[in-house]
Chain A
Amino acid sequence: MAGIYIHIPFCTKACHYCNFHFSTSTHHIERMVAAIVQEINTLPFPAQDIDKNIETIYFGGGTPSVLNNEQLQSILNACYEKFLVTENAEITLEANPDDITRERLKGWRQLGFNRLSIGVQSFADSDLKWMNRAHNSATAADCIAMAYEERFEHLTIDLIYGTPTLSNEQLLINLKTAVNLGINHISCYALTVEENTALDYFIKKGKIAPVNEEVQDEHFHIMRQYLTDNGFEHYEISNFAKPGHRSRHNSNYWSGRPYYGFGPSAHSFNGDKMRWWNIANNVLYMDGIEKYQPVYEVENLTQEERINEIIMTGLRTTDGLHIDEANNKIGAYKTTPEAFLTFISTLRSYITEGKIIYKNNTAIINSEHRFLSDGIASDLFLSYD
């Protein structure tokens, strides 16, 4: 089983914190859709041999909801024609609250979308304003209610915490609002200041207070407490779900299943040791596709690199890192015995410190310490030159 990711690189407005690939100039939409359809039809060379059984399709961006139904339809059709999309596939569309109307919801439903990911970010207008979001808090609540009415029971919203304007109280209000609206999946992202974003610039200029990691840590714990108290499972660093509502698409990334990425900047993985990604430039992407030229860059992973990925992605989730998987499936101990032994001894010291819980051959970062998981993962990485 594999997944498909479609990157729609257009937004009507640039959010100050975003460093994903997008363009606010939307006059290439038709041409872009055609190029994505062509990419799916021809399939880039590294994608030829991957499993064609598809259980998730995810439209991300940018803002996929800027596409009209016809455009969405043509991309979906290309997927259905090229791949074997399973009966109960999870088909997700990212949508911005300001794009959501009853009519559009009905249309998306008809096209086959069964999951919506709504970029709410906050239910506080003060937050939305400095983020440069296109919607306000009332719109957000309204559109969620409407989406439920239109039978999008798999609904997820994005929230951002640890922002300079977000108080502990407002964070709780955000969470409460989400819970009261009946949402069963929430992605909560700590605000990250990426280089070359407007946010980065404003902080350097002193116009916006810098991100305070104590505050973010406090928010993280408030959020974890509140959501787990309300029946959510903290199944990945930034993701909370009620039982049966985990994102299948994103879970595939973490568990190492193959996925196809179409559209500029989209990433793909063959499920083994090859990753490739498309150029992050709309015009170059379209030009290349139209001329049947490769628009991607390939990375062949070494044994150690693949093991490090497994360590990294495994430790992000509550499913944890299966040592057997690293050892048996990849042959970690056989191929890099010394590095693997160092890994085991580092792991042991984290277990002693209580930062990692180990049972059934599985290492899971103690949820209390999950905010340190990058450092823990990098310590556990195999060394190689």
Chain B
Amino acid sequence: MKQLRNFCIIAHIDHGKSTLADRLLQTTNTVGERQMMDQVLDDMDLEREKGITIKSKAIQLNYNYTGSDANYTGNRKYTINLIDTPGHVDFSYEVSRALAACEGALLLVDAAQGIQAQTISNLYLALENDLEIIPVINKIDMPGAMIEEVEDQIIELIGCKREDILHASGRTGLGVERILESVIERIPAPVGDPEAPLQALIFDSVFNSFRGIIVYFRIVNGSLKKNDKVRFIAAGKDYIADEVGILKMRPEARDSVQCGDVGYIITGIKNAKEVKVGDTITLTANQGELINGFEEVKPMVFAGIYPVETDQFEELRDCMEKLQLNDASLTFELETSQALGFGFRCGFLGMLHMEIIQERLEREFDQTVITTVPNVSFKAITTKGENLVISNPSEMPEQQRLEEISEPFIRAQIITKPEYIGNIMTLCIGKRGIIINQGYLTPTRVELIFELPLTEIVFDFYDKLKSQTRGYASFDYHPIDYRTSDIAKMDILLNGDKVDALSALIHRSRAHDFGRKLCEKLKDLLPRQQFMIAIQAAIGAKIVARETISAMRKDVTAKCYGGDISRKRKLLEKQKEGKKRMRQIGNVEVPQEAFLAVLKLDD
């Protein structure tokens, strides 16, 4: 174990984590030049494109330490496990488990952008897990690098010495060797009792269509051998270890994985739901304890997902099930809508997660879907004293049956430049936020802490924050509690017919504004028809906003000339085809884009 190091990299999106990771793999010859593709660790298409890491990964590097640390003389061979972590607030629990599997972390900060909110919250997570932090300033060769200022920020934040901060450039490879040396010198080797009952922390899993679920773990105590009978403690299930091994560029099977090391296990599990990140693997015969910190991941945001064509429902169901196999944090159940037919009520970790699921359905499964208005889950008490959880507008009891309703609040941390404080205040207070604290991290960086209703950040918070601060703000949040609130269900009516797929649960004070915007957007998105269309937003029987689309006046091609009948017939056939794909609400034909109106309110 003395020759072993486990570490991860904490960084904000775009601060160069993946590029640096690639460089570490190259320097240690873990991956040959020919195998090298940019960002090898991010192997999902989507990850490579968005430049973010969605599922965490791990890889083992072999490193010949030639440094001059006093404790060692001569060359020593080290094994280093690099655990990659996701970089977005939606996945903070996965991050915390990946961190728990390490003894140290590189705190990677972009020399031009400085420390961001998310970096800070992940850093706190790392400190909670007693990780040794090695600060690294990356991209020091960029023209906008402010090395000294960023050093000040880091010193302020973690109280290290200036000379402890490493400088690097993932792009050129500068400083990479020094990082590897520091990992050996500064990060402690894992401590654990090889003789104790097995305790292996699950920090990730992936689905492989041939092998089933591959579970990634870090052994805290004991060791794991091939063919061992194992138990996943929180899931309460027993399996045979069909294959165990370590994680090189590809998984490499071994007879056993030793105490302190990072490895994988294949047991033939087909359903990702049985594998819970944070769970502990132990031996059925000689059981250890569940490692602290396990939590069931709870969805935060809910929305309906429907096939574009009603007859594609079965196909969509199949794809959702497959998707869930490698993303256990996705939950869904059957839902029907008058407007959209059969579909699914889905639970997501957050808005990004929702976006990712939608995109993965499109890319990996070739499914175009309609996503309905997202909402958070509310808690309600009825006049009869029943406790309800409402994660779908259709579950909302009528006003007179409702005693009390409460909504989830989050604690949001925003880091920005002082000149944007005003804008952020306006934004957050407009979103029913309460300012809790405001402090200067450095003279040019302010940290603002707000308590905000989660429902307010579900819609357009990120985009607004970005535009109000020209991108100079970073944001992180954690759920805190539920608070009594005046939440109402707002319906959209087209010529008096309710469009269930556009109903939303919102705070009453926002109903007028939100309703107006939604009606306006629908006015843009609905094609004119041969009659007038009234678009109304209503709470109960009360109309809070209204727009009208006047009847179509002209739908004719003037010239049908020179005998070109074919072109015109094809145009009309296309027109008919377009109408066929629309959904009928009463007598109004509604195109699919209209169902996405809510998501595009600020376009």
Contacts and interface: CB of A to CB of B under 8 A. Distances in A.
B528 to A, nearest CB: 9
Contact of A266 (B530, B562, B565): B562
Interface string B562-591: 111110110111011001100000000000
A316 B553 contact: no
B556 A308 contact: no
B557 interface: yes
Contacts of B571: 374
A234 interface: no
Contacts of A200: none
B562 A309 contact: no
A199 interface: no
> Main secondary structure on chain B at its contact with chain A?
loop
Given A7-B562, A383-B576, A192 B557 contact: yes
B553 A375 contact: no
B398 interface: no
Nearest to B580: A383
Contacts of B553: 213-214, 216-217, 371
Which range contains the number of B residues in contact with the other chain? 20 to 34
B173 to A, nearest CB: 49
A237 B561 CA distance: 12
A192 B554 CA distance: 11
Contacts of A383: 576, 580
A7 B562 CA distance: 8
A277 B563 CA distance: 10
Contacts, number: 104
A190 B554 contact: yes
Contacts of A145: none
Nearest to B528: A213
Contact of B562 (A20, A191, A238, A381): A20
Interface in B520-558: 530, 552-558
Interface string B199-226: 0000000000000000000000000000
Nearest to A355: B530
Contacts of B559: 189, 192, 238
Nearest to B557: A374
A374 B556 contact: yes
B70 interface: no
B558 A237 contact: yes
A378 B558 contact: no
A267 interface: yes
A237 B568 CA distance: 14
Closest 8 pairs between A and B when the two form their complex, measured CB to CB: A217-B553, A267-B563, A375-B555, A378-B572, A213-B554, A189-B558, A378-B575, A378-B576
Given A192-B558, A216-B553, A372-B554, 16 more contacts: A5-B563, A20-B562, A190-B556, A238-B559, A253-B560, A267-B562, A269-B565, A275-B566, A308-B569, A308-B572, A313-B560, A316-B560, A372-B530, A372-B555, A375-B530, A375-B575
Interface of B: 530, 552-566, 568-569, 571-573, 575-576, 579-580
12 contacts: A60-B562, A192-B558, A192-B559, A214-B553, A237-B556, A254-B560, A259-B563, A266-B563, A308-B572, A373-B556, A374-B555, A379-B579
